[in-house]
Amino acid sequence: MQGDPRRVAMISVHTSPLEQPGTGDAGGLNVYVAETATQLAARGIEVDIFTRRTTGETPVEAELVPGVRVRHVTAGPYEGLSKEDLPGQLCAFSAGIMQAGLSVPEDHYDLVHSHYWLSGQVGWLAADRWRVALVHTMHTMARVKNLHLADGDTPEPRGREIGEVQVVEAADRLIANTDGEARELIELYAALPSKVSVVPPGVDLDTFTPGDRGAARAALGLPVEGDVLLFVGRIQPLKAPDMLLRVAAELLERDPGRRDRLTVAVVGGPSGSGLTRPHELEELAVSLGISDVVRFVRPVERTVLAQWYRAADLVLVPSYSESFGLVAIEAQACGTPVVAADVGGLPTAVGDAGVLVDGHRVGPWTDAVEALLRDRPHRLELGRRAVEHAAGYGWAATTDRLVEVYRQAILGRQASGNDSPIDEGRALVGVPTAVIP
The residue type found at 19 is: E
pLDDT digits (tens, 9 = 90+) for 391-423: 999 999 999 999 999 999 999 998 887 554 444
pLDDT digits (tens, 9 = 90+) for 29-46: 889 999 999 999 999 999
C-alpha Rg value of the chain to the nearest Å? 22
pLDDT value of position 80: 72
Cβ-contact 24, 271 below 8 angstroms = yes
pLDDT digits (tens, 9 = 90+) for 227-245: 999 999 989 898 999 999 9
For residue 208, with 0-12 CB atoms within 10 Å meaning exposed, 13-18 middle and 19 or more buried, which class applies?
Answer: buried
pLDDT value of position 427: 36
The binding site for 1D-myo-inositol 3-phosphate consists of 14, 25-30, 83, 116, 140, 160
Report the candidate in 147, 223, 208, 244 with the shortest Cα–Cα distance to residue 333: 208
What is the mean pLDDT of the segment spanning 99-105? 82
Q: Is the pLDDT of residue 223 over 80?
A: yes
Q: Is the pLDDT of residue 266 over 50?
A: yes
CATH 3.40.50.2000 fits 7-202+395-423, yes or no: yes
Say which range, 69-78, 287-296, 384-393, has the weakest mean pLDDT.
69-78
Q: Is the pLDDT of residue 14 over 90?
A: no
**Model confidence band, residue 275 (pLDDT cutoffs 50, 70, 90):** low
**Model confidence band, residue 54 (pLDDT cutoffs 50, 70, 90):** confident
Q: What is the DSSP string of 38-94?
A: HHHHHTT-EEEEEEE--STTS-SEEEEETTEEEEEE--S-SSS--GGGGGGGHHHHH
Q: Is the pLDDT of residue 436 over 60?
A: no
What is the mean pLDDT of the segment spanning 343-349? 93
What is the mean pLDDT of the segment spanning 129-144? 95
Domain-by-domain residue ranges, the chain? Answer: 7-202+395-423, 213-392
Q: Is the pLDDT of residue 351 over 60?
A: yes
pLDDT value of position 141: 93
Report the candidate in 182, 179, 178, 185 with the shortest Cα–Cα distance to residue 200: 178
Q: What are phi and psi of 139, to 5 degrees?
A: 70, -55
pLDDT value of position 184: 96
CATH topology of domain 213-392: Rossmann fold (3.40.50)
Q: Is the pLDDT of residue 437 over 60?
A: no
The residue type found at 306 is: A
N-terminal to C-terminal alpha carbon distance within the chain: 18
**Model confidence band, residue 25 (pLDDT cutoffs 50, 70, 90):** low
**Model confidence band, residue 175 (pLDDT cutoffs 50, 70, 90):** very high
The binding site for UDP-N-acetyl-alpha-D-glucosamine consists of 20-21, 28, 234, 239, 300, 322, 330
The binding site consists of 14, 20-21, 25-30, 83, 116, 140, 160, 234, 239, 300, 309-310, 312, 322, 330, 336
**Model confidence band, residue 198 (pLDDT cutoffs 50, 70, 90):** very high
Q: Is the pLDDT of residue 180 over 70?
A: yes
**Model confidence band, residue 426 (pLDDT cutoffs 50, 70, 90):** very low
- Could you tell me how many residues make up the chain? 437
| Whether the predicted model's global pTM rises above the 0.85 cut | yes
**Model confidence band, residue 435 (pLDDT cutoffs 50, 70, 90):** very low
pLDDT value of position 375: 97
Report the candidate in 382, 308, 340 with the shortest Cα–Cα distance to residue 240: 340
Q: Is the pLDDT of residue 308 over 60?
A: yes
Domains 7-202+395-423 and 213-392 share a fold: yes
CA distance 298 to 23: 8
The binding site for Mg(2+) consists of 309-310, 312, 336
Taking all residues of the chain, what is their mean pLDDT, rounded to a whole number?
A: 90
